[in-house]
Amino acid sequence: MRPGTSDWFHRPLLLFFFLFLTVRFEGQSVRLHVDLTDAPRNLYHARLEIPVQAGDVALVFPKWIPGNHRPSGPIGGLTGIRMEAAGRTLRWRRDPLEMYEFHVSVARGVTTLEVSLDAITTLDSAGGGGPAASSNLLDLNWNAVVLYPKGSHSDEVTFVPSVTLPAGWKFGTALPVAHAQGDEVEFAPVSLTTLVDSPLIAGLHYRKIELTKPGEGPLHVMDVIADAETDLAFKPEEISVYQKLVAETGALFGARHYRDYHFLYTLSDQVGGHGLEHHESNDSVSFERTLLDPDLHMLSASLLPHEFVHSWNGKYRRPAGLATPNFQEPMIGDLLWVYEGLTDYLGDLLAERSGLISGDQYRESLAATAAMLDHRTGRTWRPLEDTATSVQTLRMLLSPEWTNWRRSLDYYPEGELIWLEVDALIRQQTHGQHSLNDFCRRFEGGESGQPKVVPYTFEDVVHTLNEVAPYDWSTLLTERVKATSTHAPLGGIERGGWKLVYNDKPNAFDEAAEKRFKFADFSYSIGFSLDKEGKFSDVIVGSPAFQAGLGPGMKLLAVNGRKWTPEVLHAAVKGAQATNLPIELLVENAQFIRSYPVAYHDGEKNPHLERVAGKPDILGEISKPLSK
Ligand SMILES: [Zn+2]
């Protein structure tokens, strides 16, 4: 969505609106300076100089944030607003209905409105929920510090941004630098679209890693900041894996839609965990000890591949309902099973193809995903598409209670299973001649060049699939996305030559997650998961625990008369295989305590993939690297 890329005009209704509503700013720029020196106490100070004409001026604060797909603009943190013109303080008022809109009256002869404002960033981490800054590092998402004229197309408002960094901090961003001296940095003029699409990270502990091999283009850079210098211990093997990731995306898509690309990578447990995609960068936060701890490394291995894939799938090709002309226009999320689901599929595959995880780890991850979705009892009432359409509300309900019955952001993991099925089907239909790689190249590739947005519809997806391999894709995908069901779509695993099985051996991903985040998962055996205090996070509808009357929020005190620990419960589940007696759970529900006998005798159940003898290993074929 840069100037000159008017793919919008595929949308006649919006064109109509914008012919009449667009406020034009040709030749005029908004100057924006952000003082970041108070970042350690989560306060950014911004000053804007906005060109105006006399009369009533309406300014808006970005509300619908790309990549969040919802009205998550951090309005709660917007504070200290002051508006001035020609040396006089002006009275502003907020729109009584639209909280993101401000009105001010400008006198004749005034051409510039000066606005100062602060952003409190304690709960603003690119929609991730945690703080955006801490003692040693910060993440600046420009949407938190701008106001712009209501009705503008974000491609047509030009900003001249600059920052003052905390003393001695280094920074990374995809924005082209115009001038830098000491802690003062001024960037080249950019559209509001590009500004919001180009966050800046900065920190006391910083490392820049070049991922482009000599003689290759465009430039790929990893800008890493961390809580401590020791967290930045990149080994040469780690760097070559990310170079391989860059090569794999080139081989997969055949084109790149950016000038340079920056992996803005924060290693910290102090700021909110998120990954947010952009055309020319991704803004991703992982655990502080990701490079030092093999479990944390495995658990977060897909983060950067996922966000990188979005440069093609999500930013360049975008569902029509998410390709909006500015940040006030509502978004429609029904195709997020493509936007996020295909990205999840490719992100995990690229993690494996580039060597961030092993083939065994890839299959363990896939097994964990398949088992979780096969125990989403809410699929009997809620089609997958409704989880995508509901992104605005589901994103706010991330607490675990009754997740299996309510469903969650299932368009991510279930999208992965659906795209695996499509990939395996293409390979079967074409006897191995074609694959989803061909779809990716046709749909997401095209011409390399500057960022732009090419919107698509469901019909466009079906059309391109048919070009790769003729099949009734419309019926298949409509069934997967719009119908209710009793089981997860496991067709991709089965066509891939594997099957989902459960046994007493721990799943590598689930075990690492339980150990790190201190919870205990018995979802596929007795039917619940517990937090570290013994509180039931979720109880699977229809499971033995559910039949016994247990529910989320209750707290486990004892198992068969012995004080609860994960080990005691594991021993009880194993021991029940040799007896007809129920497992006795002593449970507290608010102020009341009682015993719940649970009839379960089938032992521990952890998910894995197992090869089906005699069937071709299509999953193994899918996992093979494409680059040399
Ligand atoms: Zn994503």
Residues less than 5 Å from ion ligand 1, measured at CB = 340, 343
* Exposure on the CB side of residue 339, measured as CA atoms within 13 A: 29
Per-residue pLDDT at 207 exceeds 60: yes
**CA–centroid distance, residue 67 to ligand 1 (Å):** 7
**CA–centroid distance, residue 526 to ligand 1 (Å):** 32
**CA–centroid distance, residue 127 to ligand 1 (Å):** 12
Whose CA is closest to 145, among 275, 51, 35? Answer: 35
Q: Determine how β-strand 592-598 pairs with β-strand 177-181.
A: unpaired
Per-residue pLDDT at 365 exceeds 90: yes
| Greatest Cα pair distance in the chain | 89
Segment 258-297, tens digit of pLDDT: 999 999 999 999 998 789 999 999 999 999 999 999 999 9
Give 324's pLDDT tier (boundaries 50, 70, 90). very high
* Single-letter amino acid, residue 515: K
Query: Can you give the pTM of this predicted structure?
Result: 0.94
Q: Residues 6 or more apart from 580 whose CB is under 8 A from it?
A: 601
**CA–centroid distance, residue 504 to ligand 1 (Å):** 32
**CA–centroid distance, residue 593 to ligand 1 (Å):** 43
**CA–centroid distance, residue 413 to ligand 1 (Å):** 11
The sign of the torsion formed by the CA atoms of 47, 52, 57, 61 equals negative
Give 441's pLDDT tier (boundaries 50, 70, 90). very high
Report pLDDT for 397.
65
**CA–centroid distance, residue 282 to ligand 1 (Å):** 10
Mean pLDDT of all residues belonging to the chain: 94
Contact 203, 170 (CB under 8 A): yes
Segment 572-601, tens digit of pLDDT: 999 999 999 999 999 999 999 999 999 999
Per-residue pLDDT at 7 exceeds 60: no
Please state the rounded mean pLDDT for residues 184-193. 98
Count other C-beta atoms under 10 Å from residue 448's C-beta.
Answer: 14
% of the chain surpassing 70 pLDDT: 95
% of the chain surpassing 90 pLDDT: 91
**CA–centroid distance, residue 61 to ligand 1 (Å):** 24
Please state the rounded mean pLDDT for residues 123-149. 89
Strand residue runs (E) in 349-435: none
Per-residue pLDDT at 17 exceeds 50: no
Give 436's pLDDT tier (boundaries 50, 70, 90). very high
**CA–centroid distance, residue 623 to ligand 1 (Å):** 20
Give 124's pLDDT tier (boundaries 50, 70, 90). confident
Report pLDDT for 123.
79
